[in-house]
Amino acid sequence: MSVSATYDVVVIGGGHNGLTAAATLAKKGKSVCVIEKAEAFGGMAREVAHLLYNLHPKVARELGLGALNEGKPLSTISLAEDGNHVEISGDTVRFADGAAHPDAAAYAEMIRRLKKFAGVLGQLSTKTPPKLDGGLTSLATLGELAGLAKMGLDLKRLGKKDMNEFLRVILTNAYDLVLDEMPDGPLAGALCADAVRGNFVGPRSPGTVFNLMYRLGQGGDVRLPKGGMIAVARAFEDAARKAGVDLRAGQGVTRVLIENDTVNGVELEDGTVINTRAVLSSAAPKATMEMAGIEHFDVEAARRMRHMRCKGSVAKLTLTLKDAPSIKGLSWDQMKSRFLIAPSAAAVERSFNPVKYNELPTAPVIEAVIPTLSDVEVASDGRHILSANIQHVPHTPEGGWDDAKRRHVINTVVAQLETHMPGLAALVESPDLLTPADIEARTGAPGGHWHHAEMGVDQILTVRPVNGMAHYRFAIGGLYLCGAAAHPGGDVTGLPGRNSALQLLKDGVLS
Ligand SMILES: Cc1cc2nc3c(=O)[nH]c(=O)nc-3n(C[C@H](O)[C@H](O)[C@H](O)COP(=O)(O)OP(=O)(O)OC[C@H]3O[C@@H](n4cnc5c(N)ncnc54)[C@H](O)[C@@H]3O)c2cc1C
């Protein structure tokens, strides 16, 4: 066993959260090494994400990534079967041909309210969630509870009407909330699509209003940074390198070494040992537990981890096109939008039905963007890329994935897109489908899940990823979670990484 180096902290996984955690610690003067098992850094942000919805401004500022949050956000166009597509830009809604939309005022009012609520909730996203079971045992606990108390005060400041509304809707379903305010159609469909994105839910599932608020946490703008998500991943990598982090890609951690219930190193695939006082892991919580040795965890913690809900249900389809597609009635500029195929709230709920039984989708919700129209740097030879996130695809369909099932998903999605983009099928050169199972195999995300762990009411805030294992600390001295499975959850936000690093510093493990 050869000891190759010693660091204050080793970070397992060089996804954007691992890189954020590492940069945050290195900026505080700690020696940090990131071990990434893939050949490149960036994790899912690089491999599957296609838009920036939620990068937290604090992370952007602290890591010098402010430019990623600049520039004009993309509009969203919710495609309608009758061609009356709905264009959403910030709080404004109109038909894509410029005509007024009858539900524009109801939409603006609803978004105003949800953003206000999201702002109150958002205060908790930059903090370790309070421990509600330990009483006032320490100053740290008091600090955590103070965050909750401040949220309570801010809730009161909303006024009685809004506070009651917040408490009424927070754990309810998006379907009822939306259809209370407007008739069903592409606008309601768009809201419901955003409320279910990434999770194993339909808009009628409880907690989907919370998910919608999570989306609006940073205002809800959707961005496509120059150079695409590869450039975003590279920006996180550069920030870590600039902060002095040692970055090692190409082989994974196989074991977290423990002595006297405290971390003292990691072992890599080739047997190399790196000594360290703390390990922050952005790998899956269960995998982290296994790397550390299940015998170090109590039976209940291990049981909860085994039952953590993380059934991925979003697939990624990348179509290389011989030429740019068009949509009748939309200008060249509008073709640069984020497109949603979610023709109604009812259609979004129907999209969820097959995946409940591990069946293939028949009319899934689709979010698509053609990045090559906005960014000449990512277009080559006049070809274009259409990137689609397909909601409600099973991780493992009955009988497993085979060529016929993959072909079915590709054909279904291309046919749905073709109804709006005539001639699309003939433009497709090479379709590349990543099922949730492929995503799991490629990135290690448990179940290929968007958030590494379902964002359900039983797995958020003080119980994320599971009850008793929130707060980033992971049972063993010096071992922490820092990936999307930790609070506040997934998307390219950088928050789990940042929060976990700050918690480690607060705990005094390195002093
Ligand atoms: C289909 C799909 C599309 C998505 N699209 C978007 C989008 O457009 N916008 C958005 O904001 N979010 C999107 N997401 C979600 C988002 O990409 C993730 O929530 C986020 O990137 C998770 O980041 P992370 O750093 O926590 O984890 P990851 O990115 O999963 O990083 C974890 C890293 O750890 C490495 N690793 C694992 N085990 C080991 C080990 N033993 N040793 C060393 N390294 C290890 C992995 O290789 C990986 O690089 C999408 C998700 C899916 C599934």
Alpha-helix runs per DSSP H in 338-390: 345-356, 371-374
- Residue whose structure tokens are 């838009």: 51
Provide the 10 A C-beta neighbour count for residue 92. 13
Residue 119 has pLDDT above 90, yes or no: no
CA of 45 to the centre of ligand 1 (A): 6
Count the domains in the chain: 1
Flag whether pLDDT at 3 surpasses 70.
no
Q: Is residue 472 classed exposed, middle or buried when 0-12, 13-18 and 19+ CB atoms within 10 A define those classes?
A: buried
Distance from the CA of 138 to the center of ligand 1, in angstroms?
A: 34
Transcribe 217-285 into DSSP letters: TT----B--TTHHHHHHHHHHHHHHHTT-EEEES--EEEEEEETTEEEEEEETTS-EEEEEEEEE-S-H
Taking the C-alpha atoms of residue 466 and residue 459, their distance in angstroms, rounded to an integer, is 6
Distances from the Cα of 37 to the Cα of 252, 481, 495, angstroms: 4, 17, 22
Q: Is the pLDDT of residue 484 over 80?
A: yes
| Residue 241 domain-assigned (yes or no) | yes
Residue 342 · residue 357 · CB < 8 Å: no
At 168, which amino acid appears? R
Residue 393 placed within a domain:
no
Whether residue 97 is contained in a domain is answered as: no
**Ligand 1 centre and the CA of 453: distance in Å?**
11
CA of 15 to the centre of ligand 1 (A): 6
Alpha-carbon gap, residue 342 to 186, rounded angstroms: 6
Stretch 216-227: mean pLDDT, rounded? 90
Say if pTM beats, i.e. exceeds, 0.85. yes
Q: Return d(Cα 490, Cα 475) in angstroms, integer.
A: 22
- Does the CA dihedral 53-57-110-203 come out positive or negative? positive
In a domain, 29, yes or no: yes
pLDDT digits (tens, 9 = 90+) for 64-105: 999 998 888 999 999 999 999 999 999 999 999 999 999 999
DSSP H or E run through 88: strand 86-89
What is the rounded distance in angstroms from the CA atom of residue 265 to the CA atom of residue 485?
23
* Substitution site in 44, 214, 248, 495 for ligand 1 pocket (most atoms within 8 Å of beta carbon): 44
Pocket of ligand 1 (CB under 6 A): 12-18, 35-38, 43-45, 48-51, 53-54, 252-253, 282-283, 314, 316, 389, 439, 443-445, 448, 450-451, 483-484, 490-492
Residue of 253, 366, 367, 450 to mutate, ligand 1, most atoms within 8 A of C-beta: 450
Q: What is the reported pLDDT for 470?
A: 85
Average pLDDT, the chain: 92
pLDDT category at 171 given cuts 50, 70, 90 is confident
Query: What are the start-end ranges of the H helices in 319-368?
Result: 345-356
Residue 55, domain extent:
3-68+228-307+454-506
* pLDDT (0 to 100) of residue 252: 97
Ligand 1 closest atom vs CA 490: 19
Ligand 1 center to 43 CA (angstroms): 5
**Helices marked H in 371-470 — which ranges?**
371-374, 403-418, 424-427, 436-443
Contact indicator for 466, 305 with CB cutoff of 8 Å: yes
Q: Is residue 357 part of a domain?
A: no
CATH number of 261's domain: 3.50.50.60
101 in a structural domain: no
Quick check: 138 pLDDT over 80? Answer: no
Q: How far is the CA of 186 from the centre of ligand 1 (A)?
A: 30
Which pLDDT tens digit goes with each residue over 337-376? 999 999 999 999 999 999 999 999 999 999 999 999 988 6
With respect to residue 189, please indicate whether it lies within any of the assigned structural domains. no
In a domain? residue 104: no
